[in-house]
Structure 1
Amino acid sequence: MVESPSSVLSPLSNDELIAQLVARARADGLKLTGQDGLLGQLTKRVVESALEGELDDHLGYDRHERGGSADGNTRNGKRAKTILTETGRVEIDVPRDRNGSFAPRLVAKRQRRLTGLDDMIISLSAKGLTHGEISAHLAEIYGAEVPKSTISTITDRVLDGMADWQNRPLDSVYPVIFVDAINVKIRDGQVANRPIYMALAVTCEGTRDILGLWAGDHGDGEGAKFWMRIFAELRNRGVGDVLMVVCDGLKGLPDAIGQVFPQAVVQTCIVHLLRNSFRYASKKDWPALAKDLKPVYTAPSESAALDRFAEFSDKWESRYPAIVRLWTNAWAEFTPFLAYDTEIRSVVCTTNAIESINARIRRAVRARGHFPNEQAALKCIYLAVMSLDPAGTGRKRWTNRWLKALNAFDVTFDGRVSAGRK
């Protein structure tokens, strides 16, 4: 029985074709990357074929078709051009037309880098690499010499996107907004610490949404006027109701929230309150302090918490009066969550939800050391924020974590979460 040609010459799958190309390249001693490597040659062929296709569309006839274009415009040779790609430098031939009206889109005039390389540079910057490290990485891996000034120009292109992101419309209702600060070093005359504030919200669907980034002012970045401006901005972007705001005792913030969102409850972050307490104590006393404070913030009610705090004060005030004073001053913002059930307590008594994001941002900030100005610091943090879970793989896990809490919020806050879902 004679096999049909189609069964003998069955088409190769993409994986099989790639495997054959790699095997052939290795057998011939051809490098996969770098100048004259297999990937560079493939890039050259693909780009040049795409440019020929663009010129076909521009002229209205194929390369080997007789007749030419209706207006008499024809092909007029090619010009050599060197472009930087993820595989290194690639020499391509760009086709031309006689009228000079052909404007390629894939590799535009005066463009020296494929978009993919720009995306790679922005991605590396978002992961915390400095401009010098990115330049060295591209030179070592791809043989592409990209100066630090060019890298800075590429990353500056995200500023327009950052402005759009910072001013985008927001949901009408958020069950919880976490507010926290990251200190960065900014060289403004002299290097000094400046706070960058971030607001992370839980939506009515149980997903997380970073609402914005704001640089603190010199010295009074935590005043009521500052926070009035921030929350007024959120309201102007569409936020009509916030159930609870969790923060680290930021000065002036409760007053500002009361003015802009009078129904919102302000809750102090318990983890931050504990950390601040330990700053006043000898390290050897930390375990005992933690043990004696736990009955206070796990008490079933505010009256029970007051009893446990009185016991704590009797034991520790003579040795650490500053800790007792710290909790006394924070008591009004500490106690609200004690009135709610365990589902709500478990998610609002700490800023763990925001700490995981802050950890990624801090890695990017530490890699820079210090920034020349406020805009450079905001750009670095924005890139780090945009690199978080870009595929949304953590969305389901985040939603599942908040499902019971959102139901509890809806009952406790008289259906305001359901109103936000409409």
Structure 2
Amino acid sequence: MTTMTISKELLDELLSGVENADDLLGDKGLMKELKVRLMERMLGAELTAHLGYEPHGEPARQQSNRRNGATRKVLKGNDGAVPIDIPRDRDGSFEPELIRKGQTRIDGMDDKIIGLYAAGLSTRDIRAHLEEVYGLQVSADLISRATDAVLEEVSDWQNRALEPIYPIVFLDALRVKIRDAESRQVKNKAVYVALGVTPEGEREVLGLWIANTEGAKFWLSVMNNLRNRGVEDILIAVVDGLKGFPDAINAVFPETTVQTCIVHLVRHSLNFCGWKDRKNVAKDLKRIYQATDDVEAEKALADFEAEWGRKYPSIAPSWRRAWQEVIPFFAFPPAVRKIIYTTNAIESLNRVIRKTTKTRGSFPTDDAATKLIYLAIRNFEKAGRCVREWPLSDASIACR
């Protein structure tokens, strides 16, 4: 792009009538008028190129298509409402590139709307913000059309090809209030999220899916989706304690080690104890999952039961019921175990999603929820994708 220099004389001439900031930057100021005039000049140049003759000139004798005045169009932009005279031709074949047919917004207004939507603002809040800040009165339909453009991006993202191998994949489901299309009642629907860690140690959200309830049958369809998009193997799948979940994973990825999410298990355990004991109970539970091996872990569980079993008899049995999915990660080095049991990656993702969705009481449709959650995921991945202290050189990650 060529750098353009405006002469001092021209600037002096332009600013000769400017006496205050409003004369320069106001709704009827020089900057807005200059912007309109430059755009109209460029549109005129486009029409000249289209017709092949200059304004006030004569077209070729055999040419029937000519200039045909202009149509006033009011665009919405950073400066508020911007009236532009769009030149026309007689046969209607002129399609300007600067302002396309059907275009109603300029200056990245769509990006502003999407940014506000991603921050969790409702359609009503976005309308109020645009009117207060930019003096624009926009319809709810316009905002919906702008945010609906995200759905095409979501579709491409949801169907993109994935890596053939993921050393670790965290699988979780959150609850979001969405109005059901058939009953028109607001329901707590399950939002399924899969977060993978690549062999290079980068976090990657593999997809999101919405269903009426969380169940192993739907997780099976998620596994098939990952397989169809190119995933050949998952070394470790970290899951909650949902019944049938391990079978759903191993039906598609039979070699995958299924590991119960330690954070889920600890939280479930703390639900059984009083507030004053929570800190000490959590400290003693940590001795179980930070043990050097499964033998030491089982001894730590026995010690925990001896200490707390009489007061909180439900905690130790809940760990024993899930024991076969608790102990697999002891086969891996401490650096890998730490990534699994801290689950910082999936926890931080869930925190971003909850923070974004909590401002909305409920969503009118699945698509509305999908748009907002996808934008939250996009912001999450922009914040940094590398897993700290990723054991890249460890042979247990490179191969089974």
Query: Shared topology, TM-score over 0.5?
Result: yes
Q: Which residue is 2:208 aligned to?
A: 213
**Partners of 1:21 and 1:340 in 2: CA distance:** 75
Q: Which residue is 1:415 aligned to?
A: 399
Unaligned runs of 5+ in 2: none
Q: Which residue is 1:4 aligned to?
A: none
- Preserved CA contact (<8 Å) 1:78 1:96: yes
Instruction: Give how far 1:39 is off.
Output: 5.0
**Partners of 1:50 and 1:206 in 2: CA distance:** 49
Q: Which residue is 2:246 aligned to?
A: 254
Aligned counterparts, 1:227-246, within 5 A:
227-246=219-238
SS at match of 2:351: helix
Instruction: Give how far 1:121 is off.
Output: 0.6
**Partners of 1:222 and 1:142 in 2: CA distance:** 47
Aligned counterparts, 1:94-173, within 5 A:
94-114=86-106, 116-173=108-165
Instruction: Give how far 1:328 is off.
Output: 1.3
What amino acid sits opposite 2:190 in the alignment? P
CA-to-aligned-CA distance 1:193-239 (integer Å, 9 cap, x gap): 12201111112232222111111334xx222x211111011101111
Instruction: Give how far 1:307 is off.
Output: 0.5
CA-to-aligned-CA distance 1:258-317 (integer Å, 9 cap, x gap): 111111111222222211211111010011101211211110000000011100011111
Q: Which residue is 1:394 aligned to?
A: 384
**Partners of 1:108 and 1:349 in 2: CA distance:** 53
Instruction: Give how far 1:46 is off.
Output: 4.2
**Partners of 1:78 and 1:72 in 2: CA distance:** 18
CA-to-aligned-CA distance 1:177-207 (integer Å, 9 cap, x gap): 1112221112234323122011111122322
The root-mean-square deviation of aligned C-alpha atoms, in Å, is: 2.9
Q: Does structure 1 residue 368 correspond to structure 2 residue 360?
A: yes
Instruction: Give how far 1:20 is off.
Output: 9.6
Q: Does structure 1 residue 28 correspond to structure 2 residue 12?
A: no
Instruction: Give how far 1:388 is off.
Output: 3.4
**TM-score normalised over the length of structure 1:** 0.84
**Partners of 1:216 and 1:21 in 2: CA distance:** 64
- Preserved CA contact (<8 Å) 1:124 1:134: yes
What amino acid sits opposite 2:237 in the alignment? V
Instruction: Give how far 1:250 is off.
Output: 3.0
Aligned counterparts, 1:12-411, within 5 A:
27-30=19-22, 35-37=27-29, 39-61=31-53, 63=55, 66=57, 68=59, 71-114=63-106, 116-188=108-180, 189-218=184-213, 221-223=214-216, 225-390=217-382, 394-395=384-385, 398=386, 401=388, 404-408=390-394, 411=395
- Preserved CA contact (<8 Å) 1:84 1:114: yes
**Partners of 1:326 and 1:97 in 2: CA distance:** 77
SS at match of 1:387: helix
Q: 1:347 to 1:32 in 2, by over 3 A?
A: farther
- Preserved CA contact (<8 Å) 2:164 2:231: yes
CA-to-aligned-CA distance 1:235-264 (integer Å, 9 cap, x gap): 011111111111222332211111111111
- Preserved CA contact (<8 Å) 2:167 2:397: no
What is the percentage of aligned positions where both structures have the same residue? 44
What amino acid sits opposite 1:163 in the alignment? S
- Preserved CA contact (<8 Å) 1:338 1:345: yes
Q: 1:122 to 1:37 in 2, by over 3 A?
A: farther
- Preserved CA contact (<8 Å) 2:171 2:195: yes
- Preserved CA contact (<8 Å) 2:48 2:54: yes
Unaligned runs of 5+ in 1: 1-10, 417-422
What amino acid sits opposite 1:222 in the alignment? G
**Partners of 1:249 and 1:56 in 2: CA distance:** 69
What amino acid sits opposite 2:72 in the alignment? A
Instruction: Give how far 1:83 is off.
Output: 0.7
- Preserved CA contact (<8 Å) 2:199 2:397: no
SS at match of 1:178: strand
**Partners of 1:25 and 1:388 in 2: CA distance:** 49
Q: Which residue is 1:420 aligned to?
A: none
Runs of 4+ in structure 1 displaced over 6 angstroms?
19-26
SS at match of 2:284: helix
Instruction: Give how far 1:32 is off.
Output: 6.3
CA-to-aligned-CA distance 1:331-388 (integer Å, 9 cap, x gap): 1111111221121112122321122222222122111111123232222212222333
**Partners of 1:230 and 1:362 in 2: CA distance:** 22
Instruction: Give how far 1:42 is off.
Output: 4.5
Instruction: Give how far 1:164 is off.
Output: 2.2
Q: 1:312 to 1:62 in 2, by over 3 A?
A: farther
